[in-house]
Amino acid sequence: MKCKDFVLKLSLYVDDKLPQNERILLEDHLKSCKECLNEYFLLKNLKSSLANLPAQKAGDNFESVIMQKIGDKFQETNFIPVFFQTIKVSLLTAVFLLGVIATFNFLTPDVSAKDSYDNIDALNKYVLKDASACDKIISDLMG
């Protein structure tokens, strides 16, 4: 392998990501090649410099700022669900009441005027046809 090939592997080497066989080859090469060794030191120190940059920190009251924003956002978005929830409950109640009324109407016999006349007519016929039965009923009722 040429120096160029070894330099390509240096990035993986400083991260300890080079397979063992390649690592042994590279380390042997570094022992004999001053230029590649120099490249290795540059890369290693660059990496260390980046790692040693002082960490920047968020402000002390960062949490309270976020929680306040979450609170504000939650209240804003909460208003709409509550509004729609109220509407939904009202609609469901109305539908339920309509259902009850419809069911009640369906189960109650529909006594039309014609049926009433038919019943009276049948009763008249019954009384006229069997008046004795009628008298019997009346006497039973009178005791």
Partner 1 sequence: MLSDIQLVKLAKDGHLNAFESIITRYKDKVFNIAFSFTSSHSESDDVAQNVFLKVYSNLNSFEEKSAFSTWLYRITVNECYNVLNKRKSNTVSIETELAGKDNLSLKEVLADPKSDVEQNFLSAETQSIIRKALLELPEKYRMIVTLRDIEDISYEEIAQIMEISDAKVKVWLFRARSRLKSIIKI
Residues that bind partner 1 (CB under 8 A): 8, 11-12, 15, 17, 37-38, 41-43, 45-59, 62-63, 65-67, 69-70, 73
In the complex with partner 1, which residue's Cβ is closer, 57 or 114? 57
Tokens standing for residue 13: 């080497």
In the complex with partner 1, which residue's Cβ is closer, 61 or 105? 61
Smallest distance from the beta carbon of 23 to partner 1, in angstroms? 15
Residue 61 gets which letter from DSSP?
T
For residue 42, give the nearest of 7, 17, 16 by alpha carbon: 7
Smallest distance from the beta carbon of 24 to partner 1, in angstroms? 19
Tokens standing for residue 117: 């006349």
Q: How far apart are CA 98 and CA 96, in angstroms?
A: 5
Identity at 54, one-letter amino acid code: P
In the complex with partner 1, which residue's Cβ is closer, 32 or 132? 32
